[in-house]
Amino acid sequence: MRVLVVEDEVRLANNIAEALRERCGFAVDCAENGADGAALTEFQHYDLLLLDLMLPGLDGLGIVRQVRRRKDMTPILILTARDERSQVVELLNAGADDYLTKPFDLGELLARAKALIRRGKGASHPVLTAGRISVNTVEQTVRCAGQLIDLSPTEYRLFEYLIFRPRAIVSARELLEHLYDYNWQHHSNVIEAHISNLRKKLRSVGEETSIATIRGRGYRLEAPEKQL
């Protein structure tokens, strides 16, 4: 998952980014002002936008309006130091999904971020299943019929992204865009290597659910339909 943090207080942005990377395994980009933030949202690489309300240039509300005008459904969490009712109402009405007032609890921020991403992808429970496989997005673990599969952080992130969209073709480019931040050099063969490792680990526990390669288009998580 990839998150954009737009916050002019650099130290705060770094803390949030660090926590999201460390605890949730998300890729995080930071923007220091509204204009840069709005420009980054246009790529639609993000699974969550975390916006400060008071920003130099374009404010959080302005970004929310821009994003929603494009029919971009990316979940938006607003950080605000002002908890005036009217402003909160205006924000939510403009299309923001949730808000947190500063100073917030970092744990709560992470939980809300995960919940919003989950909801944005159509899942309400933090445990996702496909066939005999279940992914616990809170613990960041993957189990096959109760048996823990030992995955590397990148493998977990890949699998988590795929299980949110079972049977859909996900291109290597999309995976790159949603799993790595801008500091990463984009090489699609990295994805290929991780997918191959994932397949091996799934097979080792005897799971028939597999990740198919669709030539020239991407990858697909094959799962028995009735069990989804």
Partner 1 sequence: MRETSLSRQLIAGVLLAELICAALFSAVAIGHEMHGRRRAFDVMLRGRADSLLGAVQDAEDPEDNVTVDPTELVLPLQDVYEVVSPSGRVLGQTSAASAALLAALSSSHSPGYFDFKVKGAYYRAVRFDGVRIVDREEKGGYRRPVTVLYGSPTRDLWHEAVEAVRFYVLSGALLLAITGVALVWFLRRRLSPLQELAIIAGRVSTRCWEFVPTGSVLRTAELAPIALSIEELLKGLRQSFERQRQLTGDASHELKTSIAVLKSSLQLLAMSPRTTEQYEYGLESLLMDTERMEGLANRMLTLARLEEAPMEQGETSELQSAVRIVAERLLPLAELKQVRLDVSGEESGKVAMQADDAEVLCSNLIMNALQHSPPQGCVTITVDSRDAVTELRIVDRGEGIPEVALPHVFDRFYRADRSRSRNSGGAGLGLSICKAIVDRSNGTVRIQSTVGIGTQVTVTLPQSKTA
Is the CB of 92 or the CB of 106 nearer to partner 1? 106
- d(CA 73, CA 203) in angstroms, rounded, equals 35
Look-up: residue for tokens 């984009």? 186
Instruction: Say whether 28 sits in a helix, a strand or coil.
Output: strand
Asked whether position 18 contacts partner 1 by CB under 8 A, the answer is yes
8 A C-beta contact, residue 169 and residue 220:
yes
**Smallest distance from the beta carbon of 101 to partner 1, in angstroms?**
8
**Smallest distance from the beta carbon of 91 to partner 1, in angstroms?**
15
- Write the interaction track for partner 1 spanning residues 104-143; mark x where CB under 8 A is met and - where it is not: xxxx------------------------------------
Asked whether position 19 contacts partner 1 by CB under 8 A, the answer is yes
Asked whether position 59 contacts partner 1 by CB under 8 A, the answer is no
Asked whether position 32 contacts partner 1 by CB under 8 A, the answer is yes
Look-up: residue for tokens 């299980």? 163
Look-up: residue for tokens 């939510």? 92
Size of the site for partner 1 (CB under 8 A): 28
66 phi/psi in degrees, rounded to 5: -60, -45
17 phi/psi in degrees, rounded to 5: -60, -45
Instruction: Say whether 13 sits in a helix, a strand or coil.
Output: helix
8 A C-beta contact, residue 76 and residue 64:
yes
Asked whether position 9 contacts partner 1 by CB under 8 A, the answer is yes
Asked whether position 12 contacts partner 1 by CB under 8 A, the answer is yes
Asked whether position 22 contacts partner 1 by CB under 8 A, the answer is yes
Q: Which residues bind partner 1 (CB under 8 A)?
A: 8-12, 15-16, 18-19, 22-23, 32-33, 54-57, 79, 81-82, 84, 101-107
